[in-house]
Amino acid sequence: MGRSGGATRRRGAALEDALLTAAWDVLSTAGYGGFTMEAVAERARTSTPVLYRRWPDRWDLAMAAIRHYGDRNPVAAPDTGSLRGDLIAFLRDASSKRAAVAAVFSLRMAEFFDETRATPAQARQQMLEGRTPITEEIFGRAVARGEADPDRLTPRVKSVAFDLLRNELVLTQRPVPRKVIEEIVDDIVLPLVRPRQ
């Protein structure tokens, strides 16, 4: 039997996906200043109690929306056979898929940071909680191949490639050119991690 006309009641994962998609749309267009439970409920065509049953406040909803966007646009963990190839492929993919997130953090969240005195680093840490950075996998393979010295792979060194990419994304508000990515890898990261002769 076919369904009668009208809206289908959303439940479970389908409902949560619709709510978080609506939340991302509001956050990325209106910024945190316009990011209210009412605005998200209107965009999702639901009621605010539906949101409050899942997220206690708009900050939790905003973080969940950003994580959801990242989950729907995952950055690959490439295995090209070389550390250079892996890093370039990873940074190119991250550049295309994280430009929107960088724009939200740099342009759309200023009111939140003013209001709460939290820092972007704290927000990023909350977003990544429980997740292993892709660079851990990339550098783990590089060590196994003898391309990287494990004694040189401090947390700062392992994060520097993405830190520099994020800086470019924030400053330019557009995907980073391949030439810049290659400079980050060839001129900065590889000399830092290669085994000493």
pLDDT tens-digit profile, the chain (197 residues): 344 344 456 677 889 999 999 999 999 888 888 999 999 999 999 999 999 999 999 888 988 998 899 889 888 889 999 999 999 999 999 999 888 887 777 767 777 777 777 777 777 777 777 778 899 999 999 999 999 999 999 999 999 999 999 899 888 888 899 999 999 999 999 999 999 87
Q: In CATH, which superfamily holds the domain spanning 13-68?
A: Homeodomain-like (1.10.10.60)
Q: CA–CA separation, 134 vs 137, rounded Å?
A: 5
**Direct distance between the N- and C-terminal alpha carbons of the chain, in angstroms, rounded to an integer:** 73
Residues spanned by CATH 1.10.10.60 within the chain? 13-68
Read off the pLDDT of residues 27-48 as tens digits, 9 standing for 90 and up: 988 888 899 999 999 999 999 9
